[in-house]
Structure 1
Amino acid sequence: MTYTIGMVSQKGGVGKSTLARMMAREFVAGGLTTKIADLDTQQQTCAHWAGRRAENGVTPEMQVQSFASVKTALEDAPRFDALILDGKPNASEQTMEIAKASDLIVIPTGQTIDDLHPGVVLAHSLRKKGISPEKIAFAMFKTTGSERENAAARQYLAEAGYLVLDGEVSVSTAYGSASDMGKAITETSFRTLNDRAARLAQSVIDKMAELQERQVA
């Protein structure tokens, strides 16, 4: 069975591709054959990142491929334990295709209303089109370190009816430096930053396991 995770967003720059790369790295480190389907054929953020990773000799190696359509990306899914669908930076028809194909849909968001509101609007639109809210989870990205702001953001999402994953990714130049080298955000030079991101990755894995258990039951 292939685990399929969809990374979607209502707006660009919230951490969607960063999240996709982190999960791919953690899946591979855990022994799962994994592929990122980069569905943004214009920017190809994940594909270029994989190229930098290979050039710098970073291990484990990541399999990333660009696809023009979700349908084509899914054809390759049976060959892998996990398939990560990294969508375009703005909500579109493709976003709904990703949501339908995914076991879990993750929406990264920042702490401000400018980030939170569009994410909730996207989640609500998916629900209206038949996507179960149990399949939708939010991930906190670009947090400021303020516990008050973090708690307020989590409360906003919870009151909207959505799960907020444990862990968070704060604003840090170290994450950008790691990405420039083709590394994931769990591979920086700082253990505290790695641990914080790893907690988020583990939360994604735990949620996927929970959903799979419900399907079996």
Structure 2
Amino acid sequence: MTFIVGMVSQKGGVGKSTLARMMAREFVAGGLATKIADLDTQQQTCTNWAGRRAENDIEPEIQVQSFASVKSALEEAGRFDALLLDGKPNASDQTVEIAKASDLVVIPTGQTVDDLHPGVVLAHSLRKKGISPETIAFAMFKITGSERENAAAREYIAQAGYMVLDGEISVSTAYGSASDQGKAITETSFRTLNERASKLAQSVIDRIAELQERKVA
């Protein structure tokens, strides 16, 4: 069985591709054959990152391929244990296609209303297209040190009717530096930052397992 995880967003720069790369690295490290389908053919963020990773001989190797359509990306699914669909920013027909194909849809968001509101609007639009809210989860990115603001952001999403994954990615230049080298955000030079990112990755894995158990039941 192939687990398909869709990374979507209403706007760019919130951490969608960063999340896809982190999950790919963790899946591969856990022994799962994994591929990122980079569906943003203009930016090709994940594709370019994989190139930097290969140039720097960073292990484990992460397979990334650019696809012009969700349909063509899904043709690869049977060859892998996990397929990560990294979509274009902004809601589109492609976003709905990704959501319908995915076992779990993850929407990364910051903690300000400028980030939260578009994310929730996107989630609502997916529900209107028939996507179960149980398969939609939010991931907190670019978090500041304020526990109050973080709690308020999580409550905002919960009040809208959606799950917020455990863990969060704080604002740190170390994450950007790691990405520049072709590393995932669980591979920085700082143990604490890696542990925070790993907590989020584990929450994604746990949610997928929970949804799969419900299917079987």
TM over 0.5: yes
The count of residues paired between Structure 1 and Structure 2 equals 217
The equivalent residue for 2:93 is 93
- Deviation per residue, 1:172-193 (Å, 9 max, x gap): 0000000000000000000000
Query: 1:25, CA displacement in angstroms?
Result: 0.1
- Deviation, 1:89, is 1.2
Counterparts in 2 of 1:1-217, with a 5 A limit? 1-217=1-217
Supply the AA of the counterpart residue of 1:38: D
TM-score w.r.t. the length of structure 2 is 1.00
Alpha-carbon distance, 1:153 to partner: 0.1
Q: CA deviation at 1:91?
A: 1.1
Which whole-Å CA distance do the structure 1 matches of 2:145 and 2:196 have between them? 12
Compute the RMSD of aligned alpha carbons: 0.3
Matched letter for residue 193 of structure 1: L
Structure 1 residue 134, shift from structure 2 partner: 0.1
Q: Which amino acid aligns with 1:196?
A: R
Q: Deviations over 1:69-116 (max 9, x none)?
A: 000000000000000000001111000000000000000000000000
Residues in 2 aligned to 1:78 and 1:122: alpha-carbon distance in whole angstroms: 28
Task: Flag structure 1 segments of 5+ consecutive residues without an equivalent.
Answer: none
- Give distance in 2, aligned partners of 1:168 and 1:153: 12
What is the alpha-carbon distance in structure 2 between the residues aligned to residue 113 and residue 167 of structure 1? 19
The aligned amino acid for 1:58 is: I
TM-superposed CA distance for 1:145, in Å, is 1.5
Identity across the alignment (%): 85
Q: Secondary structure at the match of 2:106?
A: strand
SS of 1:184 mapped into structure 2: coil
Q: CA deviation at 1:58?
A: 0.4
Give the letter for the 2:118 counterpart: P
Aligned residue identity for 1:10:
Q
CA distance in 1, matches of 2:75, 2:124: 28
Whole-angstrom distance in 1 between the partners of 2:158 and 2:204: 17
> Which residue identity is paired with 1:33?
A
Structure 2 residue runs without a partner (length 5+): none
For 2:136 and 2:42, locate their aligned partners in 1 and report how far apart those are by CA, in whole Å. Answer: 26
CA deviation after TM superposition for structure 1 residue 204, in Å = 0.1
